[in-house]
């Protein structure tokens, strides 16, 4: 198809498509004349992936480039490719909040206590977690350590669901892409859903007089 | 204290502090002479909150301004203030992916099925969830509806933990600030922890030959 048709199919403007080609995110089309290139469904699919990672996942152009490099890698170990993809989609930590050393110990202790097969020193997510914990403590709203095991219970359940979902639905050659999509867009899904659950929990706790806004029957807890 | 001491205490550069005052994020200091202002612990606390929301939460200056307006609101209904704060920290949806109408029905059905006291039409998080679901479907990696109830189970548990944490630790006058901190930084904590749980789940599934990297005993599942 021509670039105009690719634009119509994906909702991405033609100059934006050209920009992604220049930035190395999207393979160039096959030249059919000196001034015209032809695109196919793999381009449309890749474009939807790029837009999803940017618009919903909030990734930058350079983060998307790293993610796609992991997706397109020919490395054979699934576990290693998943690790590389995950490093690419984990935002780098900014700054070193006070209390970071203690927060790192808290994370290492959590990993040990849960029996997670993770080397905290080598995983960006462990450092992100330590930075978030130290920042939380610095703002001074109580000891977030109290909630870590409840969060870990929930995350173990979510991770088991995620891996089963990815393993069930993906062809082997799109496994890494599936993991990236499930991780980045899954964060957006979980963040939005947690906020909905907060509204519900707040209504139950602080708005006792109101009727059930969903119109459904009162659930039993 | 003078602005230099405030800068040392919080690790925020003096020009940045002045920028936050000009942008209306931080109250001006009390003038002690025509060229000098005095700051106190409330400024230090507010500065740490601003930096946490920006650095770890990824909020923009304008999003932080909205959040602080909700935090400083004199509205009496806790449920309403929590709702306003939540709206301020929920990123606006970008674009309208194909399949959005169907995704909105999926969200409304989920809310009804879970008995959540949420009006999907009036809550930004419900729209964010619908956009994330539609984008996920558009990229074409399986029917994410299969995992929604597992995610919802996890989010209900997390929300119950969050509300109990906030209710236990916060003074009444800092309740809204606590909820904002717990929501924004909690997203960062959960996102990082979910990635750690993914590494663990991937190691168990795809890296069976490796020894337990944490060095601890093999957990029983």
* pLDDT over 70 percentage in chain A: 86
pLDDT of B36 higher than 60:
yes
> From the candidates A197, A205, A207, A209, which should be mutated to test the interface with B, based on the most B CB atoms within 10 A?
A197
What six digits make up the tokens of A117? 């097969």
- Note whether B214 contacts A117, CB cutoff 8 Å: yes
Query: Among the CATH numbers 3.30.920.30, 3.40.50.1820, 1.10.1660.10, 3.30.420.40, which is that of B1-56?
Result: 1.10.1660.10
> In whole numbers, what is the pLDDT of chain B averaged over residues?
82
- In this prediction, residue A209 carries a pLDDT of 53
pLDDT digits (tens, 9 = 90+) for A161-212: 888 887 776 565 677 777 777 888 888 889 889 988 888 888 887 765 544 4
- Is this prediction's pTM over 0.90? no
- Note whether B161 contacts A155, CB cutoff 8 Å: no
Which ranges of chain A does DSSP label H, i.e. alpha helix? 3-10, 14-22, 41-51, 61-71, 78-89, 100-114, 124-139, 145-169, 175-206
- Note whether B158 contacts A183, CB cutoff 8 Å: no
B181 closest CB neighbour out of A128, A136, A170 = A136
- Note whether A196 contacts B141, CB cutoff 8 Å: no
Residues of chain A found within 8 Å of residue B77, distances taken between Cβ atoms: 206-207
Q: 13-42 in A: which are within 8 Å (CB) of B?
A: none
B151 closest CB neighbour out of A86, A158, A204 = A158
Our measurement of the distance from residue A164's CA atom to the centroid of its chain's CA atoms, rounded to an integer in Å, reads 17
> In whole numbers, what is the pLDDT of chain A averaged over residues?
82
Q: 43-82 in A: which are within 8 Å (CB) of B?
A: 45, 48-49, 51-52, 55-56, 58, 77-79, 82
B103 touches chain A (CB under 8 A): no
Helix (H, G, I), strand (E, B) or coil at B135: helix
The CA-atom distances, in angstroms, between A215 and each of A160, A210, B116, B128, B137 are 33, 12, 10, 22, 28
- What average pLDDT score do residues B40-50 get? 91
Quickly state the pLDDT bin for A215 (edges 50, 70, 90). Answer: very low
- In this prediction, residue A93 carries a pLDDT of 67
- What average pLDDT score do residues A71-75 get? 74
More confident position, A219 or B185: B185
- In this prediction, residue B39 carries a pLDDT of 96
pLDDT digits (tens, 9 = 90+) for B153-171: 999 999 988 888 877 765 6
Longest Cα–Cα distance of chain A, Å, equals 71
More confident position, B216 or B90: B90
A vs B: CB pairs below 8 A: 351
Q: Where in chain B is the domain with CATH 1.10.1660.10?
A: 1-56
A192-206, B7-21, B86-100, B167-181: least confidently modelled range: B167-181
What is the interface pTM, i.e. ipTM, of the complex?
0.78
């Amino acid at each position: 198809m021509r670039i105009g048709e690719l634009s119509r199919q994906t909702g991405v403007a033609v100059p934006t498509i050209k920009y992604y080609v220049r930035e190395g995110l999207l393979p160039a089309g096959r030249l059919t004349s000196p001034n015209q290139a032809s695109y196919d469904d793999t381009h449309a699919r890749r474009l939807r992936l790029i837009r999803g990672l940017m618009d919903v996942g909030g990734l930058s152009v350079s983060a998307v480039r790293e993610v796609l490099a992991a997706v397109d890698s020919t490395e054979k170990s699934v576990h290693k490719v998943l690790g590389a993809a995950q490093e690419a989609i984990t935002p780098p930590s900014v700054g070193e909040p006070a209390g970071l050393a203690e927060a790192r110990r808290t994370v290492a202790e959590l990993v040990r206590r849960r029996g997670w097969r993770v080397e905290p020193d080598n995983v960006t997510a462990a450092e992100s977690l330590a930075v978030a914990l130290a920042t939380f403590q610095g703002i001074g709203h109580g000891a977030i350590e109290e909630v870590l095991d409840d969060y870990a219970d929930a995350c173990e359940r979510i991770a088991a669901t995620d891996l089963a979902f990815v393993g069930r639905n993906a062809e082997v050659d799109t496994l890494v892409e599936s993991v990236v999509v499930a991780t980045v867009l899954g964060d957006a899904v979980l963040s939005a859903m947690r906020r909905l659950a907060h509204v519900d929990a707040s209504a139950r706790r602080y708005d006792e007089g109101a009727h059930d806004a969903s119109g459904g029957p009162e659930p039993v807890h």
